[in-house]
Amino acid sequence: MKRLTEMGAALVTAALLVSGALGQSEAREVGPLARLFPHWQEYLDLPANDRSHFTLAYVIGSARGVPAEDIRIWYDTGAGEAELVLDSGGQVLNPPDLSILAAGPMAWVNQPQGGMSVSLSFQAKLELEHEIARLDTLLALEQANRAMRSVGGVAALFAPSFKTLIFVFEGSAPDAWAIHADGSRTPLIVQESQAIYRPNDRDLRDVDHLVFGRPPARILIDS
């Protein structure tokens, strides 16, 4: 079994060049679909209760700056063609399940000459709302850290410990607050499109929930 610890930090560039010779704009076979999803098999092999609050996210990028809406990647399911759905940032919204990975389909791409990269991140799997409970954020961090330890063996000793949640917004980040048990509030650190929260910081340990001016688009798990 490959080790999740090989992923390193919360955001790791896999540097997976699926083809250095993708030419013109016709369909090109780029190898097994599983190559686009390193460590996804290990994640899916975890018990469902051990991955309920975190996931692995994959972002497809073009070495030549082709926008995500112009990148098409698909594979044959045996019953027809299935296409990977990318959001505006290139994140894959429908990664394959275990049965598809086991079938080992080949992936095809329609992209101008150049190559593709796949970046991998740990993300919290929470409801993206104006308010988020502290207990849910703690569980996301706990599960991500436990996953690293459970499959990493000795190498897990050198893996990063996840302590931080980065709330990413579309556009500039809104006001973001940590609401304490007594009703008082502490502003979160806001940097451009992100709000940063470390639930185990000394002055944030009695927080009950977080409040945002608008819901985040995604939540990264970081060291």
100, 133: one domain: no
208, 106: one domain: no
Q: How many domains does the chain fold into?
A: 2
148, 52: one domain: no
Burial (CB < 10 A; 0-12, 13-18, 19+), residue 6, is middle
95, 116: one domain: yes
Among 93, 123, 153, identify where a domain stops.
123
pLDDT digit string (tens) for the chain, length 223 residues: 445 544 544 444 444 444 433 334 568 888 999 999 999 999 999 999 999 999 999 999 888 888 999 999 999 998 899 999 999 999 999 999 999 999 999 999 987 556 778 999 999 999 999 999 999 999 999 999 999 887 655 555 566 799 999 999 999 999 999 999 999 999 999 999 999 999 999 999 999 999 999 999 999 999 9
For residue 139, report the phi and psi dihedrals to the nearest 5 degrees: -65, -40
102, 209: one domain: no
> What pLDDT was estimated at residue 22?
36
> What pLDDT was estimated at residue 63?
81
> What pLDDT was estimated at residue 21?
35
11, 74: one domain: yes
**Nearest-angstrom CA–CA distance, 121 and 31:** 22
196, 134: one domain: yes
119, 140: one domain: no
80, 156: one domain: no
What DSSP letter does each residue of 97-151 carry, written as one string?
A: -HHHHHH-PEEEEE--SB-EEEEEEEEE----SSEEEHHHHHHHHHHHHHHHHHH
> What pLDDT was estimated at residue 157?
58
84, 12: one domain: yes
117, 13: one domain: yes
Q: Which domain, by its residues, includes 87? A: 4-123
108, 146: one domain: no
What's the pLDDT tens digit per position in 17-58?
444 333 345 688 889 999 999 999 999 999 999 999 999 999
Among 123, 151, 184, identify where a domain stops.
123
Terminal-residue alpha carbon distance, the chain: 24
Among 80, 103, 123, identify where a domain stops.
123
